[in-house]
Amino acid sequence: MAVREGGEMKEYTEKRIKMIYNQDMNPCPVCGSWHFRAQTPIQLELDAGDIENPRKAIGKFVAAHKDGPPMLKGPCFFMCFDCGHKGPAVDCSGRTSEEVGQDPVVWKEMKRLWNEQAPNVAPKA
């Protein structure tokens, strides 16, 4: 699936995902998509309108960061951007997004849990 991001088209393929994560990754177990990304939920109250309006969501994100790295709301997980499926979560409550972002253990565990999910569909090309 091609997605416009920062002005350039990006192709979410098995090859690209392996490049990003530097290891073999499984596609979304629900829809087979390679368009998934790590989520580290911070104290943001995003509603449906924000999802449709990325500018608003980014505004809230910036506001949450203005007093330093925000505390995480809890779990970190991979989420599929095609079907909304969320992978198994690693609990990161009470830590900042910056701390967790630099923690190779959390990162490794998130990837392991995602890859452990039993696929229901064949991967998308």
Residue type, position 101, single letter: G
- For residues 53 to 82, the per-residue mask of contacts with Zn ion, x marking binding by CB under 5 A and - elsewhere, is ---------------------------x-x
State the Cα–Cα distance between residues 116 and 48, nearest whole angstrom: 30
Nearer to Zn ion, 71 or 83 (CB): 83
Q: Which two tokens stand for residue 51?
A: 């999802």
Nearer to Zn ion, 83 or 89 (CB): 83
State the Cα–Cα distance between residues 43 and 25, nearest whole angstrom: 28
Considering only residues 31, 42, 89, 113, which one is a binding residue for Zn ion as defined by CB under 5 A? 31
Nearer to Zn ion, 34 or 76 (CB): 34
State the Cα–Cα distance between residues 19 and 80, nearest whole angstrom: 18
Q: Which parts of this chain interact with Zn ion (CB under 5 A)? A: 28, 30-31, 33, 80, 82-83, 85
